[in-house]
Structure 1
């Protein structure tokens, strides 16, 4: 069998706003740094080839930045027309340098992430494989934990009720938010959830960067009694040295990385041994091309992996990580897709559908606020 060349003939970019049923608050709201989150803005990319294969990808922004991602993608996406969609690394470089004057991280690469992810979805569909299988999977399911039920806007009774529901739905672990100005209240909430779910259920906490070094160390020591899987983002995302000191001082593993927007920023975390569990986000670091670079570095350093958000993408990437990872379960994105990911026995199952295994729903189309197209259908 010989390779049949293909070419990108059409690219469609869309931006859509997903409204959240309830305003969401983590510690950043209670410390006055952010307002409650009421929506998530998405950048969707759809790439069609001459042979009729279509790839879907997305990036996102919470609170601010969505329009900037869309604007940047609009400026560079047209240069993909006529290119071979299988040359993903070449295309990523082309797009990166087309917009390099505004940098190679943050919004500039988050805009490229949707296109990069769409190319991987397309390549896996062309091969007739789930993306995890295309990448080289180590497993057909991944340990999963729920976050969307553990935010600080919910009462402790609501958090407990949602934890019960998540476990009944086959989700394996529960993460709740901490980082309140009243640390005693944090401890009361953690104690209540631990008692409710029992000591055999994996439990994680997330401070969303709201502690200083002294508070993080003090709270970390007090939290040891709850046998947590990890303490997430106890310090500012860029305080690699502080995270490294905590990782050395505490028995509970430290997890961080979700807010970093490039491989280069994660390299500092890895070099300083700033965490036990690294939490990259493919849409935030620039897509799957960059995520795979980062995952190789993390594995070489002996780090565990728990990617942030976007389980529709990260399930496949986690399944292809050499060490047993975790994937984060959020139900917020369910209305965007026609398919649902299966959870059972504490794990999320890699779908047998080609590519990412998801298609955009009519609701996602209805929430679209703008779109632009390049090439011809």
Structure 2
């Protein structure tokens, strides 16, 4: 048991199924690898201490994996009891070793991520600071781009209009999904959006690991005249050498990293020069503690940073990155929280609320499919 100033006395985990208004399709659906996505499985952790401090954190899984994350979190949750919540590094290691036989990546550490995020939220609340300020912010707002309007299930007319609407609403950039079996269809979609938007609006594309090396070279070459901010996941997520070859060949930056499931995998990607833009996802790699390690590696190599999804967490982390980053805007998680992030003039703003600055909504509670609590 810790001999610190406070101790964890209660841990509650909740599995919440978030329905999506529309079934979502990207290149993996068009090629039969996956089915359209209709929901997101959320894992929430709420941690309380003897002194009355409380923190909330979350992880998530798209398609399969949600019940597995919840089951693993339920098994290891008792490890937190009695610990000083400020000893976040010690607790992370203890949680990893509690489930050491299932490894240090993937589902195991994605379950840990919910606890880790909750501990950082608690720590920032105790300091009465937004998490970004606690981490040492370089800025009070971060450039943001919207992805949710550019999926492949939507006809091009809808994509064009949603892109224009997002820009009018204050979004700073637009990302489009590509990866059609016919590359000409991709070029037509991207060109249509570029023609609709002012040339000054940043535009990105995301192939979701669709192309092989030959197709990726051809598509990167064809997209080069459009002066995109980046081309994302043109190859399999673990083909760091292939991504390096593209980054070395073309002027358009190559972005990847969202599907990597550990700090070690990001370290290898960075070592091999596989990305101009690194896209770690805190819930996928074990939480904020591990994200900070990836961020340090990226900074050392002077890379751009653009965290994937989970903007409620990542706006704080991106604010603490020395080089001007991007944050991905998705409105999907909005119903889960009572508070929402402010977006204007192309930027997502840190709130003045302590911690992450969010609390679970009544709707989120209503979508709960399983919960478990330990005390002591």
Q: Contact 2:4–2:84 (CA<8 Å) still a contact in 1? A: no
What SS class does the counterpart of residue 229 from structure 2 fall into?
A: coil
User: Number of residues paired by the alignment?
Assistant: 374
**Equivalent residue number for residue 306 of structure 2:** 306
**Equivalent residue number for residue 331 of structure 2:** 331
In 1, the alpha carbon distance for the partners of 2:370 and 2:252 equals: 45
1:94 aligns with 2:94: yes
What SS class does the counterpart of residue 332 from structure 2 fall into?
A: coil
**Equivalent residue number for residue 278 of structure 2:** 278
Q: Deviations over 1:303-349 (max 9, x none)?
A: 11000000000000000011100000000000000011000110000
1:6 aligns with 2:15: no
Q: Deviations over 1:143-199 (max 9, x none)?
A: 000000100001111111111111111110000000110110000000000001121
What SS class does the counterpart of residue 166 from structure 1 fall into?
A: helix
TM-score normalised per structure 2 = 0.99
In 2, the alpha carbon distance for the partners of 1:100 and 1:138 equals: 36
In 1, the alpha carbon distance for the partners of 2:4 and 2:86 equals: 11
**Equivalent residue number for residue 152 of structure 2:** 152
Q: Deviations over 1:237-285 (max 9, x none)?
A: 0000000000011110000000000011011110111110000000000
In 1, the alpha carbon distance for the partners of 2:4 and 2:263 equals: 33
Which one is further off, 336-345 or 156-165?
156-165
| 1:155-304 map, 5 Å | 155-304=155-304
What SS class does the counterpart of residue 259 from structure 1 fall into?
A: coil
**Equivalent residue number for residue 113 of structure 1:** 113
Q: Contact 2:85–2:119 (CA<8 Å) still a contact in 1? A: yes
In 2, the alpha carbon distance for the partners of 1:323 and 1:66 equals: 34
**Equivalent residue number for residue 321 of structure 2:** 321
How much has 1:79 moved relative to structure 2? Answer: 1.2
In 2, the alpha carbon distance for the partners of 1:199 and 1:276 equals: 22
Taking only aligned residues, the RMSD between alpha carbons, in angstroms, comes to 0.9
**Equivalent residue number for residue 134 of structure 1:** 134
How much has 1:53 moved relative to structure 2? Answer: 1.0
**Equivalent residue number for residue 104 of structure 2:** 104
**Equivalent residue number for residue 345 of structure 1:** 345
How much has 1:4 moved relative to structure 2? Answer: 7.8
What SS class does the counterpart of residue 5 from structure 2 fall into?
A: coil
What SS class does the counterpart of residue 15 from structure 1 fall into?
A: strand
In 1, the alpha carbon distance for the partners of 2:136 and 2:117 equals: 16
List gaps (5 residues or longer) in structure 2: none
In 1, the alpha carbon distance for the partners of 2:4 and 2:127 equals: 12
In 1, the alpha carbon distance for the partners of 2:135 and 2:71 equals: 30
1:46 aligns with 2:51: no
What SS class does the counterpart of residue 128 from structure 1 fall into?
A: coil
What SS class does the counterpart of residue 9 from structure 2 fall into?
A: strand
What SS class does the counterpart of residue 260 from structure 1 fall into?
A: coil
